[in-house]
């Protein structure tokens, strides 16, 4: 680790506490700093359009050949212009996407017809520079809502990529899509399949207060494996439910959210549905997306702690989700986590108003393995032991309702004063 | 005003910006400091049971004769022991309630059978001291969850009231039920009816983050008017929907919430249903409860601003409520209000994820009378003018959806760093 470049920004934030599947080899910090990041046939470029003055604010990921693509989008009624445009392009060209272009600093949301024209022209220009068709480009924006996109400056900046000048690393690409993020989020895996190794990598951004208000979250994944569109879409949707949707509340999405995956088939045989390889690839995808999702929570605005809320023993999965989301989204719970206060009464009160049906007297609560509350309101834990768990930067809270078999997990962070600083004057 | 006692704590917080109905005379600050507060036949006492070390923590309001009573309670599944006991007593004695007893510092919630016994014995002791039957006492608690009630100390402290030593003012009674409140909440009205004047007064506590997490809210109202139980209940429920339920999200209630009214009939004729007097009394009640509700928001933990979120032009009242509640509860909106940042994009994004159906392009937004957003995403307001509104301590935000006639209002406050301070270590 000593030879990591001094300015390499991902210290322990990216450190690997995840249990990766055995058939995957995640990049070490050293690898991320030194090795080529992108899968075979993918390249990336970054540029400065001057929307954000302190850093590059424009990024493209390009596939040398047409890729199969799938994406999930925000369900917010006020979805942004680039979401509409990307949806249309994906409908038409789900088997021949060539690039993803994304700017930070401006969401191009609540910008009406002009916004749609701007998003289209961003795709057009990208296509022109890369020699692709406009509908082969997915377009994405993140940043302030309601301000027209400075599309001329973006267009000029895109010229930097003409002639194929696309030599940016995963770290650089991840940095270019950051807004209030405090560190770039990226990771690459080599995945062993029956015929050999493929690479799967992803970058993400997002640092909002995840519950109840997610700020814009974006994730772009690329692989050189060969996967047909229906299977790719199915895998992305399923992994999304297990990863990004455990940090967002369904429907509680911002105007620009998007997670997309491109598969360009540069390596090996096609991964067919219902095969061992499909299973192996899926588990790698779910792991990577969960890793990126947890990085987003870890970078929650002002957050100092990453806490997994596990709910079990609910009458149904839906009830478990209600409880997990209400506890994870409770400002009173989140401030108690910040204050390292073992205030289990707030957890119980949040569960009680979640809409799930259970008997409060059969509830038990654990912090990691430490029993905090036993059924019948028995609570005689050691404050010292509780403090030891609560002072960790990552831990879990398990709420057992004692009713049925429904279970769910939601990842949350604490609520600190820095959140107020960051969000009190975001727009100005 | 110059002759107000120096320690009188209700400065401009209680100042009267409310539009009271013409047939009511609210107490001025001077009146509150000097005049007898309670309606005819009511008295109050406070005492220290040592649960809170810095102030009296026990309060009774006593009616010299049996009162008609009505109450609304929390819908939280984990409702506290005193809520269960009060519900039972009210079922049995809705026309003969003699007293309300309330302690602060301990919620007696999540305390199981022992909690129920403790709540009952608190009612028993109060009844004994006052010469009433136990089921003629409503009992209430507020404070930390999950800690057994120190019922012996409460019992000893209640002895202070034996022999009718009940000489506390409205201010003192309101102070005794405070937890994290920064000022006592109370007001009295003289209400002109066909036969003369009756008095209606109320005290309240509550200072939680009202949306989405209400901390315990209590309100106790008493009147010397004569009102039968069905009418009294109907009036309380209706006024509650218009007042306390516009600061709480339905169902988002804490373990102990309760609003109760006693009518002891000391003055004048019985107010019959569907009469002019019933109408006049109801409008006074709604005004007083709204006034108290707004005081609770104004005292939101760390709050510096009181903002009414009006939603109009929704397809239905239910849709209007969804939008108003989601906007009012959004941490991103609340931090922007705190930062005095005219970030209408966050308001629109919150509306978009509320579940209400509308066309974002027909939405307009006003801060007081200043147009911030016009349909078609037209926004060319003066930042300076917006700042003038946003720097006020009270203002309104109107979101017009441009679809139908549904309207709703929710009162909210800003989210400040002090909220984190107050809640980070509440229990310890």
Q: Tell me how close the Cα of B315 comes to any Cα of chain A, in angstroms.
A: 15
Whether residues B212 and A213 touch (CB distance < 8 A) is answered with no
Reply yes or no on whether B216 is catalytic.
yes
B218: three-class secondary structure by DSSP: strand
Residues 134 through 153 of chain A touching chain B, CB cutoff 8 Å: 144-146
Which pTM value belongs to this model?
0.80
Is residue B299 within 8 A of residue A390, CB to CB? The reply is no
User: Helices marked H in B159-275 — which ranges?
Assistant: 170-176, 229-242
Contacts of A110 in chain B (CB under 8 A): 345, 348, 360, 377
pLDDT at B16: 47
Whether residues A341 and B428 touch (CB distance < 8 A) is answered with yes
The verdict on A101 touching B (C-beta cutoff 8 Å) is no
pLDDT in tens, B55-71: 999 999 999 999 999 99
Per-residue H/E/C for A365-428: EEECCEEEEECCCECCCCHHHHHHHHCCCEEEEEEECCCCCEEEEEEEECCCHHHHHHHHCCCC
Peptide bond into A212 cis (omega under 30): yes
A320: three-class secondary structure by DSSP: helix
State the catalytic residue, choosing from A111, A142, A179, A216: A216
Adjacent-strand bridge partners of B100: B61, B138
Which residues contact residue A274 at a Cβ distance below 8 angstroms, ignoring those fewer than 6 apart?
none
With a cut of 50, list the residues of chain B below it in pLDDT.
Answer: 1-12, 14-16, 210-214, 249-251, 428
Distance CA A71, CA A94 (A): 9
Distance CA A64, CA A41 (A): 5
- Domain extents in chain B: 19-296, 306-424
pLDDT in tens, B356-375: 999 999 999 999 999 999 99
pLDDT in tens, B17-66: 567 899 999 998 889 888 999 999 999 999 999 999 889 999 999 999 99
Contacts of A255 in chain B (CB under 8 A): 345, 348-349, 352
Say which of A111, A361, A416 has its CB closest to residue B112.
A361
pLDDT at A63: 97
DSSP code string of B375-427:
TTTB----HHHHHHHHTSSEEEEEEE-SSSSEEEEEEEE---HHHHHHHHTS-
Instruction: Return the CATH architecture of domain B306-424.
Output: Roll (3.10)
Choose among A222, A72, A50, A235: nearest CA to A152: A50
**Helix B276-298 with B229-242: angle, nearest 10 deg:** 40
- Torsion angle, CA of A342/A343/A345/A346, rounded to 10 degrees? -130
Whether residues A146 and B379 touch (CB distance < 8 A) is answered with yes
**What integer best gives the mean pLDDT of chain B?**
89
Cα A343 to chain centroid distance, Å, stands at 29
pLDDT at A234: 97
**Helix B331-338 with B344-352: angle, nearest 10 deg:** 160
Distance CA B44, CA B169 (A): 7
Query: CB A7: neighbour CB atoms within 10 A?
Result: 6
Which residues contact residue A183 at a Cβ distance below 8 angstroms, ignoring those fewer than 6 apart?
A9, A10, A13, A14, A295, A299
pLDDT at B417: 73
Question: Radius of gyration (Cα) for chain B, nearest Å?
Answer: 22
Is residue B95 within 8 A of residue B227, CB to CB? The reply is no
E strand map for A128-273: 137-144, 185-193, 196-205, 218-223, 226-227, 258-263, 270-271
B415 to chain A: closest CA residue: A420
Per-residue pLDDT of chain A (428 residues; tens, 9 = 90+): 334 444 444 444 544 456 789 999 999 888 988 899 999 999 999 999 999 988 999 999 999 999 999 999 988 888 999 999 999 999 999 999 999 999 999 999 999 999 999 999 999 999 999 999 999 999 999 988 889 999 999 999 999 999 878 999 999 999 999 988 888 999 999 999 999 999 999 999 987 554 444 457 899 999 999 999 999 999 999 999 888 888 864 445 788 899 999 999 999 999 999 999 999 999 999 999 999 988 888 887 677 888 989 999 999 999 999 999 889 888 788 888 988 989 898 899 899 988 899 999 999 999 999 999 999 999 889 999 999 999 998 899 999 999 999 999 888 888 877 766 666 655 54
Whether residues B77 and A360 touch (CB distance < 8 A) is answered with yes
- Torsion angle, CA of A123/A129/A130/A136, rounded to 10 degrees? 20
Provide the token pair at B87: 């519900």
B303: three-class secondary structure by DSSP: coil
How far is CA B353 from each of CA A72, A75, B327, rounded to the nearest angstrom?
Answer: 16, 8, 9
Distance CA A103, CA A142 (A): 6
Whether residues A336 and B423 touch (CB distance < 8 A) is answered with yes
pLDDT at B382: 94
What CATH number was assigned to the domain covering residues A19-296? 3.60.70.12
Residues 221 through 280 of chain B touching chain A, CB cutoff 8 Å: 251-255
Q: What are the backbone angles phi and psi of residue B42, rounded to the nearest 5°? A: -110, 145
Contacts of A412 in chain B (CB under 8 A): none
Per-residue H/E/C for B33-100: HHCCCCCCCEEEEEECCCCCCCCCCEEEEEEEEEEEEEEEECCCCCCCHHHHHHHHHHHHHCCCEEEE
B214 to chain A: closest CA residue: A332
Residues 364 through 393 of chain B touching chain A, CB cutoff 8 Å: 373, 376-377, 379
Contacts of B420 in chain A (CB under 8 A): 335, 338, 415-417, 419-420
Peptide bond into A388 cis (omega under 30): no
Which residues contact residue A156 at a Cβ distance below 8 angstroms, ignoring those fewer than 6 apart?
A49
The verdict on A76 touching B (C-beta cutoff 8 Å) is yes
- DSSP state at residue A135: G
Q: Please, what is the end-to-end C-alpha distance for chain B in angstroms? A: 40
pLDDT at A215: 54
Whether residues A109 and B349 touch (CB distance < 8 A) is answered with yes
pLDDT at A252: 58
Distance CA A340, CA A115 (A): 45
Cα B242 to chain centroid distance, Å, stands at 11
Cα A81 to chain centroid distance, Å, stands at 20
pLDDT at A361: 92
């Amino acid at each position: 680790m000593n030879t990591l470049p001094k300015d390499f920004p991902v210290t322990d934030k990216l450190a690997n506490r995840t249990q990766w599947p055995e058939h995957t080899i995640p990049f070490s910090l050293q690898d991320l700093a030194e090795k080529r990041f992108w899968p075979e046939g993918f390249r990336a470029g970054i540029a400065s359009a001057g929307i954000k003055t302190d850093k590059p604010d424009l990024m493209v990921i390009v596939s040398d050949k047409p890729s199969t693509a799938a994406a999930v989008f925000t369900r917010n009624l006020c979805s942004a212009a680039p979401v509409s445009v990307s949806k249309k392009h994906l409908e038409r060209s789900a088997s021949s996407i060539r690039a993803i272009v994304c700017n930070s600093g401006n969401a191009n949301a609540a910008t009406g017809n002009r916004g749609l024209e701007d998003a289209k022209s961003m795709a057009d220009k990208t296509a022109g520079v890369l020699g692709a068709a406009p509908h082969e480009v997915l377009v994405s924006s993140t940043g302030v809502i309601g301000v027209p996109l400075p599309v001329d400056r973006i267009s000029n900046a895109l010229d930097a990529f003409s002639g194929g000048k696309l030599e940016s690393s995963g770290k650089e690409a991840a940095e270019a899509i950051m807004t209030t993020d405090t560190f770039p989020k990226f990771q690459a895996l080599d995945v062993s399949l029956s015929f050999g190794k493929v690479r799967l990598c992803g970058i993400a951004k997002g640092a909002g207060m995840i519950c109840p208000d997610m700020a814009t979250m974006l994730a772009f994944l690329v692989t050189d494996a060969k996967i047909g569109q229906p299977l790719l879409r199915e895998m992305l949707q399923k992994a999304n439910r297990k990863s990004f949707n455990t940090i967002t509340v369904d429907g509680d999405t911002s105007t620009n959210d998007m997670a997309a995956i491109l598969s360009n088939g540069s390596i090996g045989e096609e991964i067919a549905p219902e095969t061992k390889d499909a299973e192996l690839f899926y588990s790698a995808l779910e792991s990577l997306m969960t890793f990126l999702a947890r990085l987003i929570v870890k970078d929650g605005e002002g957050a100092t702690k990453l806490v997994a809320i596990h709910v079990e023993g609910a009458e149904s999965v839906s009830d478990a989700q209600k409880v997990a989301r209400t506890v994870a989204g409770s400002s009173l719970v989140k401030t108690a986590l910040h204050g390292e206060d073992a205030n289990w009464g707030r957890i119980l009160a949040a569960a009680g108003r979640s809409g799930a049906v259970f008997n409060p007297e059969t509830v038990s609560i654990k912090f990691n393995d430490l029993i905090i509350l036993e059924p019948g309101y028995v609570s005689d834990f050691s404050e010292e032991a509780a403090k030891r768990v609560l002072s960790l930067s990552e831990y879990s809270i398990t709420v057992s309702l004692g009713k049925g078999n429904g279970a769910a997990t939601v990842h949350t962070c604490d609520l600190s004063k820095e959140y107020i600083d960051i969000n009190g004057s975001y727009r100005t």
